[in-house]
Structure formats: C-alpha cells, structure tokens
Amino acid sequence: DAEITQSPRHKITETGRQVTLACHQTWNHNNMFWYRQDLGHGLRLIHYSYGVQDTNKGEVSDGYSVSRSNTEDLPLTLESAASSQTSVYFCASSDRSRPLYNEQFFGPGTRLTVL
C-alpha cells in the first residue's frame, strides 16, 4: 500500500547541531509539505514543494530548509538547532492531478527535542 513515512520518530539533539528529518511518500504525489505542531498553535506550515526542484517558504520557515531532488522525498533540515525548534514535525503530501487535490495525507510525525 502507498504510504508516507517519517524518520526518525523521535530525536534528541543539542543546540547548534544540524538536524535532518526525513519524509518519504510512495503515492507519487506532486505536493509535499512540512508542518510543526505546538500546543496552542495547531499546525503551522514550514516549507512546501509543488514538484522536483521546487521549494517554497511557509509561515514559519526561519531556521529551516528543504530540498526536493525527487518526487518521493522532502527532507527538512534545521541548520543550527535552537530550543525554540523543539516540536512535533509532520510531513504531508497531496496529489495535484486529483480533482480533490486539497486533501493532504499526513505522516506519523517526528518528535524533536533540542536541549
């Protein structure tokens, strides 16, 4: 079955370190998104991509970067981790070719703790 996976599921790192969170989907979706979830804020968009080589900044992109070298993967990199980036990170994808392309499908999440 097609799916969307994230790794690692849990990560503890130190302030200043570079961290990369992986997202992999097997639906062949064009669109991929990264969100962070914090208490009281719901889901906030970090970066998104409409296809290979395309990346766009979302609402809370400072301190994060993404790259899209193939359809299946959109890794999220924290260049220099800060304690304010402690959060739960969700990856999502959607298919622009479907009539209901707004339907985003989410991965299981990565819980990141920055000490």
List residues near other proteins by CB under 8 A. 31, 33, 35, 40-45, 48, 50, 58, 90, 92, 94, 96, 100-109
Contact 60, 46 (CB under 8 A): yes
CB of 44 to other proteins, least distance (A): 8
CB of 86 to other proteins, least distance (A): 17
Closer CB to other proteins, 14 or 59, in the complex? 59
Closer CB to other proteins, 17 or 96, in the complex? 96
Parallel, antiparallel, or unpaired: how do β-strands 110-114 and 10-13 relate?
Answer: parallel
CB of 91 to other proteins, least distance (A): 8
Q: Is 50 helix (H, G, I), strand (E, B) or coil?
A: coil
Closer CB to other proteins, 31 or 85, in the complex? 31
CB of 16 to other proteins, least distance (A): 28
Outline where DSSP puts E strands in the chain: 4-7, 10-13, 19-25, 31-38, 42-49, 56-57, 64-66, 76-78, 87-94, 105-106, 110-114
Closer CB to other proteins, 58 or 63, in the complex? 58
